[in-house]
Structure 1
Amino acid sequence: MTAKDLKDCHKRIKSNIHRTPVMTSRLLNTMSGADLFFKCENFQRMGAFKMRGAMNAILQLSDQQKSKGVVTHSSGNFAQALSLAAQNLGITAYIVMPSNAPKVKKEAVKGYGGHIIECPPTQKDRESTAIRVQLEKGATYIHPSNQLEVILGQGTAALELLEDYPDLEYIFAPVGGGGLIAGTALAAYFYGKNCTIIGGEPFEVDDAYRALKSGKLEMNETTHTIADGLRMPLGDVNFPIIKKYVSEIIRVEEKEIIDAMQLIWERMKIIIEPSCAVPFAALLRKKERFKNKKIGIILSGGNVDLSNLPF
């Protein structure tokens, strides 16, 4: 992987994605004691950063692979991203979704033309169902977070942020399956100026925090977090990148996630989902450490179930 790989990826996908805005808030700067620059991927096509990785992965398939379609497993945002990317390119998308995925995300997948196959809500069931569909349909499996093409695609959000604000000292990103933070870390390494990457993760699903401590992949016993987009564990492709380039992971309580989400809704007047609030919650938890620093925060998505708000 090189700086050129990331730039080439951005060139490949840029006509199929939005260059999302970077927003600031004087009030949130005062509350945090830092200068904050929010990269608003909630304004991305299909409402989340995952459109970037999905599009990059699909655009690199052969014509024969495209003719057989693609398959993934996802609780929501990557499901929507792959469905929309496939629809745009005239490709069939088979989407394995856990039975407890938010209804709003299932409806969106259908709206983007994805074919949903439901499975029990365990990592093992998600993976085995996706393999079965792959074998039955001959579709190409695209992993939501543990695939280099996807990781590079996700990294283009931070690349754009650093093009706009090259002197950021930190970038905070949420940690779920690891694709976004791995891509963000690569972008900062290649294009930042001593820019440190910090992850935010719920205490309820803290496999990445534990993995950085132990040096090996860890699993979660339960996934009882409001941040439904962060329930997936890290993978063997993104973990080595995270281990090498991510400085630390700050864990947050469920109440801190909800409070951070509400603050952004109320003060910035934008819709974000719970997973998206986690890095901001992480910053607020340790704000004394980051006083007077220039900090980028990746707002990962805005696909929230309006009938089931936590506040």
Structure 2
Amino acid sequence: MAVRQLDEKTVTTLVAEATLAPSMHNAQPWRFRFLTGERLLLLHADLERAMPRSDPGDRALHIGCGAALLNMRVAAAHAGLAPEVRLLPEPQDPLLLAAVRLTEQTGRARDDELARLHAAIRQRHTSRHPFAEKDLPEDVRTMLRDAAARESATLLFPGAWHAETVLDLIRDAESRDVMDADAREDLIRWTRLGAEADTAVDGVPEYAFGPRKRDGRAPVRDFAGRRPVADRGTTTFEYTPHLALLSTSGDGPADWLRAGQALERVLLEATLADLATSLTSHALETPELRLLVRDPGSGTGQVQMVLRIGYGPRGPATPRRPVSDVLDIV
């Protein structure tokens, strides 16, 4: 059977959809390189977009790149391709996070479950708005747990006592940031205010901040801080937020990449189920706090992300860099 040549338009589309993934402060810490003759798409970390103060070990950077990798796999499956992924393929090159060979689909290699998620890639946006005080049905929780498990991760919906502990840790982290100028530096670098928000290609623009929280207990990071933002308003958020903890068995770069893929798979499934989502890593940005977030019953697993899930408005799309800035084709 003749193997079709992958044209530049197809590769560009795959990367464009990969880059719609979430990343810490929308820093988009990735670069792609396509080796045409080998049909090989390489994913590299972009350390110029790292956050040495908020993410000194580059854990969040890897999670963001893992989310982009999952999007790319979904886009490839939708395009009739079978992505064969190797994580960290070159030990001597730690910036090369994944190599993806884009082979032709056959009946046995088809991944219809991945392709089914394609419509959600452009619909998924982080929502920093209040969610309804409405419970998540058990079948929805099961569906989201299964999505994480498909990517070798665990999604836990904590009980009331555990959720209260997580919320307390997030509030402690927020208080720490208010007093720590270094902690605020990364946030200020990656937020876009005023006219800059209209032309930004990265970062979190002010129109995506959402309203200020007047009351309620939802964990929503205030990207404005003490800086004024016009026409933002204040409102009450939910008092009983639905949290989910995404964890992996290990805690190295490969685990972080798996966590990113699991995170995006959960988010895409949630989007198809008409759920709104937001993320917080506030309570996970220091090793000491991360240990306290774990399931108090088992005490196992490494929590990589705290998700807030519910029924409410989806947030606006945030800017993305042009594909020409992140993709080289050779």
Q: Which TM-score band applies after superposition, normalised by the shorter structure?
A: under 0.3
Specify the structure having the higher radius of gyration (Cα): 2
The TM-score, its normalising length taken from structure 1, stands at 0.27
Name the structure, 1 or 2, with higher relative contact order (CA <8 Å, separation 6+): 2
Between structures 1 and 2, the one with greater helix share: 1
The TM-score, its normalising length taken from structure 2, stands at 0.26
